[in-house]
Amino acid sequence: MSNIPLLIFNFVEFNIVILIIEMIIVKYLAERKGWDSSYEKAYVFVSIWSIIYFALLLLVLEIPLYIFDIHMVDINIIDHHIIIANVIILIIDVVLATFLIKIIYKKEFGVSFIFVLFIVIFKNIIIFGLGLLFFPITSFIQSYP
């Protein structure tokens, strides 16, 4: 069975829809704080942040599974690895995004950190909601021959 339709759908869902939603959230929160609320700055931040996030996913989550040749049947190892990897990714992601906000919007570290926390909370709520919304579609695509 080919996973190409699922991969295409996931690409559209997470790389396009999430990026657009993140950009709107960043612009809205920057506007509420009285910062420069241009789409250009929001786009630059979200683009660089997404590249860093996907690089972290590869480095922390995918490459160790490949290097240590862990197969999907080793569920206990994968579950522990995924939990640990997600915590590591979240911490590094928040710290790097804070520095990125500090550089792009020229704000203090504390203000940038709070800003990033709001974005991460909104982002995770939206990802959870999109996961619930698109679950029937992804299940259908996976089961379709």
* pLDDT tens for the 145 residues of the chain, in order: 445 565 566 666 667 778 888 888 888 888 888 887 778 888 888 888 888 887 877 777 667 666 666 555 555 555 666 777 778 888 888 899 999 999 988 889 999 999 999 888 888 888 788 778 777 776 676 666 5
Half-sphere exposure of 40 (CA within 13 A, CB side): 1
Sign (positive/negative) of CA torsion 52, 11, 46, 32? negative
Residue 37 CB contacts under 8 Å (≥ 6 apart), including other chains: 27, 28, 30, 31
Check: pTM over 0.85? Answer yes or no: no
Which pLDDT value is given to residue 132?
A: 81
Overall number of domains in the chain: 1
Quickly count: other Cβ atoms within 10 Å of residue 24's Cβ. 14
Which pLDDT value is given to residue 145?
A: 57
- Domain extent, residue 122, equals 4-143
Which pLDDT value is given to residue 48?
A: 87
Dist. CA 85–CA 59, nearest whole Å: 10
Which pLDDT value is given to residue 1?
A: 44
Which pLDDT value is given to residue 72?
A: 52
Of 127, 46, 118, the residue nearest 86 (C-alpha): 127
Query: In this structure, which amino acid lies at residue 126?
Result: I
